[in-house]
């Protein structure tokens, strides 16, 4: 669904639920499902609406005015946040973008190679390799991250950009999705025809298979992007220099310092609002051409 559809549906809001127009309307609109869903939507939007409004309040308004009454301090909050420790907040945002974009990109490339190989070739050890990769999904991240930290410490790589980036490139779930999409989107006779024409395996992959896999790979990219952007544990374990923190870890430390000083609350709240913003915007834009059905394609198989 595009956001366009949402906008089109919105004007109907006044007429849909609750307005008592008797049986004919009830027959046209299923009231119970409509209202249940709207309550669900309200529940999900409530904290987001709260943070949007709370970020406009100045420090004193936050504790004195009614919660859902907009305040007057957004510009001030923004400049306070930007001034906090010489703009370290924007550094965190930049770091998150770097980790998520680069990590998701590399992850998509690796997933496309592996998924294509597992889907289109018959070879010894294929299922064994696939199953071993999948078992990786079940590994609790802490259990991987602690020995990863200890091993990276041996080669002096902890507390670096690479220590957060490298462990997140191989995504078992990404490989799994890429395999499903490659199997569904790349017909074996097309690959065979390429071979007949004398194209190398690499050329068949880059020129024929890869373009066919693009919609699926967009999904892999987005999943990985969200996973890395939202990741807290790995940077929490790997990093100590706050110049390299992603936004999740940055906000956590800001809250830790701010919990005892209510003066910092407004900074935390404004920071949280701005951290929510990019991903929500990304989703609204992307869902125009990214179908969530691709997810079910993976689920059904």
Partner 1 sequence: MTSTARRKSYGVKGAPYGFLIPASILFVLFFALPIGYAIWLSFRKVQVSGLGLGAGARKEVWAGLENYTDAFTDSELLDGALRVLGYGCIVVPVMLGLALLFALMLDSEKVRLAPFSRLAIFLPYAIPGVVAALLWGFLYLPDVSPFYFVLDKLGLPQPDLLDGGPLFLALSNIAVWGGTGFNMIVIYTSLQSIPAEVYEAAKLDGATPLQIALKIKIPMVAPSLVLTFFFSIIATLQVFSEPTTLKPLTNSVSTTWSPLMKVYQDAFGKGDIHAAAAQATIIALATLLLSFGFLRAANRRNKRDVSQGVAR
User: Which residues in the 280-299 window bind partner 1 by CB under 8 A?
Assistant: 280, 282-283, 287, 292-293, 295-296, 299
Residue 87 Cβ, how far from partner 1 at the closest point, in Å? 20
Residue 220 Cβ, how far from partner 1 at the closest point, in Å? 13
Of 21, 72, 200, 206, which lies in the binding site for partner 1, with binding defined by CB under 8 A?
200
Of 75, 188, 262, 285, which lies in the binding site for partner 1, with binding defined by CB under 8 A?
262
User: Which residues in the 15-74 window bind partner 1 by CB under 8 A?
Assistant: 16-17, 28-30, 32-34, 36-38, 40-48, 50-51, 54, 62-63, 66-68
User: Which residues in the 202-261 window bind partner 1 by CB under 8 A?
Assistant: 202, 205, 226, 229-230, 232-233, 236-237, 247-249, 251-252, 255-256, 258-260
Residue 103 Cβ, how far from partner 1 at the closest point, in Å? 12
Site string (154-183) toward partner 1, x via CB under 8 A:
------------xx-xx----x--------
User: Which residues in the 65-124 window bind partner 1 by CB under 8 A?
Assistant: 66-68, 109-111, 113-114, 116-118, 121, 123
User: Which residues in the 137-156 window bind partner 1 by CB under 8 A?
Assistant: 137-144, 146-148, 150-151
> Could you tell me how many residues of this chain bind partner 1 (CB under 8 A)?
109
How many alpha carbons lie under 13 Å from residue 196 in its C-beta half-sphere? 6
């Amino acid at each position: 669904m595009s956001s366009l559809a949402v906008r089109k549906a919105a004007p109907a809001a006044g007429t849909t639920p609750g307005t008592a127009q008797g049986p004919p309307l009830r027959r046209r609109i299923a009231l119970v499902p409509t209202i249940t869903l709207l309550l669900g939507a309200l529940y999900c939007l409530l904290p987001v609406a709260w943070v949007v409004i709370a970020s406009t309040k100045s420090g004193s308004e936050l504790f004195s005015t009614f919660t859902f009454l907009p305040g007057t301090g957004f510009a001030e909050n923004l400049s306070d946040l930007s001034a906090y420790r010489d703009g370290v907040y924007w550094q965190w945002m930049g770091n998150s973008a770097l980790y998520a974009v680069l990590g998701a990109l590399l992850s998509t490339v690796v997933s496309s190679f592996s998924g294509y190989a597992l889907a289109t070739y018959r070879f010894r050890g294929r299922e064994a390799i696939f199953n071993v990769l999948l078992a990786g999904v079940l590994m609790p991240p802490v259990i991987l991250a602690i020995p990863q930290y200890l091993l990276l410490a041996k080669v002096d790589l902890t507390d670096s950009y690479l220590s957060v980036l490298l462990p997140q490139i191989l995504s078992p779930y990404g490989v799994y999705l890429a395999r499903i999409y490659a199997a569904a989107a790349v017909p074996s006779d097309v690959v065979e025809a390429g071979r007949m024409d004398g194209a190398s395996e690499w050329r068949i992959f880059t020129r024929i298979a890869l373009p066919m896999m693009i919609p699926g790979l967009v999904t892999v990219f987005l999943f990985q992007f969200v996973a890395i952007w939202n990741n807290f544990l790995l940077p929490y374990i790997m990093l100590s220099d706050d110049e390299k923190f992603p936004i999740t870890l940055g906000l956590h430390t800001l809250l830790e310092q701010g919990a005892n000083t209510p003066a910092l609350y407004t900074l935390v709240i404004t920071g949280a609002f701005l951290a929510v913003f990019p991903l929500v915007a990304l989703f609204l834009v992307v869902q125009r051409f990214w179908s969530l059905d691709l997810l079910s394609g993976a689920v059904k198989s």
